[in-house]
A and B are shown apart, each in its own frame.
Chain A
Amino acid sequence: MILAKLALGFASTMIFATVYTFREGVIRVDVDEHRDGGSHVHLWAPAAVVPMAMHFVPKEHFREAALHANEFLPVVQALSSELRKYPDSTFVEVQDGHDHVRVSTVGTKIQIDVVNPEENVHVTVPLRTINDVAEQIAASTPGV
């Protein structure tokens, strides 16, 4: 009986963690270099981890980042919250011969695709995560 309770508790915790993770979204980075021995990076990370992990970053690093990014943070915050209103839209598309760059939204995520004969790079980040990170950095600005 105790084992059944433990198993149930473990299962419910796992389900809770899974649901929370996917509710927050996933950060996806795919890099494929086409040259011989080129690297292939495929990273899937739960976006929920980022704001949590930022709590463990020493404050002085945040202050430094805030000082450097101070003038851009309001733009990032405004953009990330506004872009969420326009899911599945392409904002910038550049085609230069075989090079192709696209900045778009897929649902409530921003997706950046760079495709050229040398490499393919695809980055997908939930806009909410970008907003949370910008907010946390802005909050660390000296004098705020």
Chain B
Amino acid sequence: MQARLIRSIGPALLSVTALLASPAGIIAQDKTANVTVSSSSSDRWLHVRVTSSEDRTETVRVNVPLEMAEKVLPAINKDRLHNGKVRFDEHDMNCVDVKALLDAVRTSKDGEYVTVQGTDADVRVAKQGGYMFVHVTEKNSYSKNGKTTEKSKVEVKVPMKVVDALFSAGKDELDLVAALHALSAHGDTELVSVKSEDNTVRIWLDSKNISD
């Protein structure tokens, strides 16, 4: 009787056991996902933070893993962006041969290349320790005590290798994917800082998946 019972419900029991084992498979999958979390935490993340100067409760935070951006950018084919490259023409650059300009900067020694001190703005372009610096300070024309005050301040710090990678494509192209790849090899860096009357913008690179 018992043997007959086991024979009849045996296959069913086996299938139930197999199915009940499936959640274990799910847990195993989750564990694999956790492994991915820990490995992805060493990835490089590009952070953008925009804070309104007037209302501190207005903020925009964007966090993008560089590896993901490298993979997704080539999939975007719209207007001038194709295969991770942006096409531009001479007209966009006011007929300035940017490649020749960058070649000159690359082969030159560290130092300040451009220093402009005007009534409207101060501009400083320099190369130092493998980085290219561009600082622009826009001034207010008038102020109450007669002294000029800062209207906006832009500070850009880009590794030269990233600039090289950016211009590594064709003559009239910017290779964004190559630039991102070059950027991922760098340590924690503050890339762009903009302080204006309206907003504060910060773009930086680190290995955290959250912005501070």
Which A residues fall within an 8 A CB radius of B? 1, 4-5, 8-9, 11-12, 15-16, 19, 22-23, 71, 74-75, 77-79, 82-83, 85-97, 107-108
Decide: A16 near B36, CB < 8 A? Known: A22-B26, A85-B68, A97-B55. Answer: no
Assembly CA distance A107 to B37 (angstroms): 9
Give chain B residues whose Cβ lies under 8 Å from the Cβ of A12: 12, 15-16, 19
Flag B1-41 by CB within 8 Å of A: 1 or 0 each. 00000001100110110011011011000100100110010
Q: Ordered nearest first, which 4 A-B pairs have the shortest CB separation?
A: A74-B75, A78-B75, A93-B61, A82-B68
The contact of A8 among B9, B43, B58, by CB within 8 Å, is B9
Assembly CA distance A60 to B7 (angstroms): 51
Contact B75 A15 (CB under 8 A): no
The contact of A71 among B33, B43, B78, by CB within 8 Å, is B78
Contact A86 B65 (CB under 8 A): yes
Interface contacts beyond A19-B26, A85-B67: sample of 19 additional A-B pairs, CB < 8 Å, sorted by A? A15-B16, A19-B22, A22-B26, A23-B26, A75-B72, A77-B75, A78-B72, A78-B75, A79-B75, A82-B65, A85-B65, A86-B40, A87-B33, A87-B36, A89-B210, A90-B209, A92-B60, A97-B57, A108-B33
Contact B76 A75 (CB under 8 A): yes
Assembly CA distance A91 to B46 (angstroms): 10
A97 CB, min distance to chain B CBs, angstroms: 6
| Number of A-B residue pairs at CB separation under 8 A | 96
Say whether B102 faces chain A, with CB atoms less than 8 Å apart.
Answer: no
Contact A92 B58 (CB under 8 A): no
Say whether B63 faces chain A, with CB atoms less than 8 Å apart.
Answer: yes
Assembly CA distance A85 to B40 (angstroms): 7
A sample of 29 inter-chain contacts (CB < 8 A) reads A4-B9, A8-B16, A19-B26, A23-B22, A74-B75, A75-B75, A75-B76, A77-B75, A78-B71, A78-B72, A78-B74, A82-B65, A82-B68, A82-B72, A85-B36, A85-B40, A86-B43, A86-B68, A87-B37, A88-B37, A89-B65, A89-B210, A90-B63, A91-B62, A93-B59, A94-B59, A95-B57, A95-B58, A107-B33
Say whether B64 faces chain A, with CB atoms less than 8 Å apart.
Answer: yes
Contact A19 B23 (CB under 8 A): yes
Give chain B residues whose Cβ lies under 8 Å from the Cβ of A93: 59-62
The contact of A96 among B57, B68, B71, by CB within 8 Å, is B57
Mark out the residues of chain B between 153 and 212 whose CB falls within 8 Å of any chain A CB in the assembled complex.
209-210
